[in-house]
């Protein structure tokens, strides 16, 4: 008879204890510890694949180039490192409504030369059909299963022998072996384990959808992220059309890759030249607008920053920022007031990054500051200028890396001048048609802008 063992598990982080606790010592949340009965048969599910009994010298290990499938989507292919590796498991996380199901159904339909099994635990067959009709892509090779039972999914996969499996989502999958609700730590972990085993044993790639918690991390145990080969994050502002697919972990490629999509009324379309799309909506010669040559992953994006500076009617001025860290905005405003004497403490400041993109590149500083100065002084920034530098606490302009890539992109998009830190002067590799303007301080920037 299988032995039973009682453990207390935190539903939030998976911490295990032998006795009941009111507060989890690992994640500090209250009332999340639940009693679990572990039967020895369930707890000893071990992966047999990938294991060897004797250690091998690394020089003797045979390596065969992994076979990659073309998923018929330039952005996803790039983010995966050149296609989907057979037998690999990819987890795609994102907020509800961001477009995970749309992306994966689209992939399933576009790969019509491969047999694809699309499993949905969230939507009915009719709902999926409706989505397919909306996308106007037809495929004879896409098989849809509405199920939440992971064991029956694996059996179906064995019979159907698909070349790709999509599971939407891992949090809805359950197995009879574990006595807890769908989405709980043990269910997610056991179902994840079974699916990974299925992928490795049959050499079928599996794409898993993962939900995101309020805090923005992938729901379910962190262990799922460790177990899978690749973790991708789908993000963007739901009010705008653009979506970014970021690689967080990739055993078969770089994590510097980035995919950019636009949500349209008939599904997601790949954005090959983001700068072109982001700049096309520009109104010329407006105050409060400037362009940054930013770098996200390996891609250069020319992004418009918009600022509005207006007198405040409140005792404490408002600072509102979309797509840019509000603390960094406050820091830049403090630098502007203290080091350049531009009084902004009695002004409301609104900042917006066009397209609803969130860019984590400090080279945005100079362009944000230029937009603020431009709105404050009510002068427009020349529409042939762009910016790429960080601003330090003493008002100094600091260099950012990969200047040549930024200059190439700005030049290709028709810009004539780029504002850089004076410390970038010595590391320009080539001669460019675009003229670099090297500045040392915020005061230099103001001088150049009002010239």
The size of the interface with ligand TYD (CB under 6 A), counted in residues, is 15
d(CA 196, CA 202): 10
**Which DSSP category does 67 fall into?**
P
The owner of tokens 């072109």 is: 276
Given the rule CB under 6 A, which of 73-81, 89-97, 283-291, 301-309 is the region that contacts ligand TYD? Answer: 89-97
Tell me if the bond preceding 169 is cis, omega within 30° of 0: yes
| CA nearest to 1, candidates 31, 39, 49 | 39
| CA nearest to 227, candidates 312, 274, 170 | 170
Whole-angstrom CA distances from 323 to 69, 142, 305, 341 are 34, 37, 9, 27
Q: At what angle do helices 364-377 and 442-449 cross, to 10 degrees?
A: 50
x/- contact string, 256-285, with ligand TYD (CB under 6 A)?
Answer: -------x-xxx------------------
Smallest separation (angstroms) from ligand TYD to the CB of 120: 10
Given the rule CB under 5 A, which of 93-101, 288-296, 398-406, 440-448 is the region that contacts Mg ion? Answer: 93-101
Question: Within 13 Å of residue 189, how many CA atoms lie on the same side as its CB?
Answer: 19
Smallest separation (angstroms) from ligand TYD to the CB of 148: 16
Smaller CB distance to ligand TYD: residue 117 or 373? 117
Question: What's the angle, vertex CA 148, arms to CA 192 and CA 119, rounded to 5?
Answer: 80
Among 12, 77, 101, 441, binds Mg ion (CB under 5 A): 101
d(CA 339, CA 411): 32
Smaller CB distance to Mg ion: residue 92 or 407? 92
Q: Of these partners, Mg ion, ligand TYD, none, which one is at the site of residue 267 (CB under 5 to 8 Å by kind)?
A: ligand TYD
Smaller CB distance to ligand TYD: residue 265 or 316? 265
Residues composing the chain: 451
> Rule CB under 6 A: is residue 207 a binding residue for ligand TYD?
no
Smallest separation (angstroms) from Mg ion to the CB of 149: 19
Given the rule CB under 6 A, which of 30-38, 47-55, 92-100, 321-329 is the region that contacts ligand TYD? Answer: 92-100
Q: Of these partners, ligand TYD, Mg ion, none, which one is at the site of residue 98 (CB under 5 to 8 Å by kind)?
A: ligand TYD
d(CA 451, CA 447): 6
Residues 112-131 binding ligand TYD (CB under 6 A) are: 131
Among 22, 55, 57, 97, binds ligand TYD (CB under 6 A): 97
Smallest separation (angstroms) from ligand TYD to the CB of 167: 12
- Could you tell me the sign of the dihedral formed by the alpha carbons of 250, 253, 258, 259, in that order? negative
> Rule CB under 6 A: is residue 99 a binding residue for ligand TYD?
yes
Neighbours of 20 (CB within 10 A): 9
Residues 132-161 binding ligand TYD (CB under 6 A) are: 134-135
Smallest separation (angstroms) from ligand TYD to the CB of 84: 19
Question: What's the angle, vertex CA 35, arms to CA 32 and CA 36, rounded to 5?
Answer: 120
Smaller CB distance to ligand TYD: residue 6 or 134? 134
Smallest separation (angstroms) from ligand TYD to the CB of 135: 6
Smallest separation (angstroms) from ligand TYD to the CB of 94: 5
What token pair was written down for 120?
A: 């949905």
Smallest separation (angstroms) from ligand TYD to the CB of 164: 18
Among 71, 98, 232, 368, binds ligand TYD (CB under 6 A): 98
> Rule CB under 6 A: is residue 102 a binding residue for ligand TYD?
yes
Q: Of these partners, Mg ion, ligand TYD, none, which one is at the site of residue 110 (CB under 5 to 8 Å by kind)?
A: none
What token pair was written down for 159?
A: 């019979």
**Buried b / exposed e along 342-367 (16+ C-beta atoms within 10 A):** bebeebbbbbbbbbbbebebbbbbbb
d(CA 37, CA 216): 30
Question: What's the angle, vertex CA 225, arms to CA 16 and CA 170, rounded to 5?
Answer: 90
Residues 388-407 binding ligand TYD (CB under 6 A) are: none
Q: What residues are paired with 260 via a beta bridge?
A: 244
Smaller CB distance to ligand TYD: residue 161 or 264? 264
x/- contact string, 311-350, with ligand TYD (CB under 6 A)?
Answer: ----------------------------------------
Helix or strand holding residue 8 (H, E):
strand 4-10
Smaller CB distance to ligand TYD: residue 255 or 269? 269
Per the CB < 8 A criterion, the answer to whether 441 and 422 are in contact is no
Interaction site with ligand TYD (CB under 6 A): 94, 96-102, 131, 134-135, 263, 265-267
Interaction site with Mg ion (CB under 5 A): 101
């Amino acid at each position: 008879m299988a032995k039973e063992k009682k453990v207390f598990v935190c539903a939030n982080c998976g911490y295990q204890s032998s006795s009941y606790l009111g507060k989890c010592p690992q994640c500090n949340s209250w009332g999340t510890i639940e009693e679990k009965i572990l039967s020895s048969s369930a707890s000893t599910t071990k992966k047999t694949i990938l294991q060897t009994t004797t250690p091998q010298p690394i020089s003797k290990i045979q390596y065969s180039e992994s076979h990659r499938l073309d998923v018929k989507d330039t952005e996803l292919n790039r983010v995966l490192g050149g296609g989907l590796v057979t037998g690999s498991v990819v987890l795609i996380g994102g907020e509800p409504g961001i477009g995970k199901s749309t992306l994966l159904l689209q992939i399933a339909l576009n790969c019509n030369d491969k047999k694809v099994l699309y499993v949905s635990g969230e939507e009915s067959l009719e709902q999926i059909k409706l989505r397919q009709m909306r996308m106007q892509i037809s495929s004879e090779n896409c098989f849809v299963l509405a199920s939440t039972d992971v064991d029956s999914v694996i059996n179906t996969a064995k019979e159907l022998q698909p070349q790709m499996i999509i599971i939407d989502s891992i949090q809805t999958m359950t197995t009879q072996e574990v006595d807890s609700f769908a989405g709980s730590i043990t269910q997610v972990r056991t179902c994840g384990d079974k699916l990974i085993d299925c992928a490795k044993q049959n050499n079928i790639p599996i794409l898993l959808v993962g939900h995101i918690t309020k805090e923005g991390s992938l729901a379910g145990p962190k262990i799922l992220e460790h177990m899978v080969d690749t973790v991708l994050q789908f993000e963007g502002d739901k009010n705008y059309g653009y979506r970014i697919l970021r690689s967080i972990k990739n055993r078969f490629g770089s994590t510097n890759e980035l995919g950019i999509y636009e949500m349209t009324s008939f599904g997601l379309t790949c954005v090959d030249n983001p700068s072109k799309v982001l700049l096309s909506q520009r109104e010329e010669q407006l105050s409060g607008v400037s362009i940054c040559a930013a770098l996200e992953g390996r891609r250069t994006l020319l992004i418009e920053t918009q600022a509005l500076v207006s007198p405040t009617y409140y005792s404490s001025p408002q600072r509102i920022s979309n797509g840019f860290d509000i603390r960094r905005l406050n820091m830049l405003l403090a630098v502007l007031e203290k080091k350049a004497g531009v009084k902004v403490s009695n002004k409301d400041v609104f900042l917006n990054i066009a397209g609803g993109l969130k860019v984590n590149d400090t080279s945005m500083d100079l362009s944000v500051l230029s937009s603020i100065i431009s709105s404050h002084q009510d002068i427009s920034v020349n529409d042939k200028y762009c910016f790429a530098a960080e601003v330090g606490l003493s008002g100094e302009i600091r260099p950012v890396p990969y200047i040549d890539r930024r200059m190439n992109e700005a030049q290709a998009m028709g810009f004539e001048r780029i504002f850089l830190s004076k410390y970038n002067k010595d590391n320009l590799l080539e001669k460019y048609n675009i003229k670099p303007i090297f500045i040392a301080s915020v005061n230099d920037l103001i001088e150049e802008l009002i010239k």
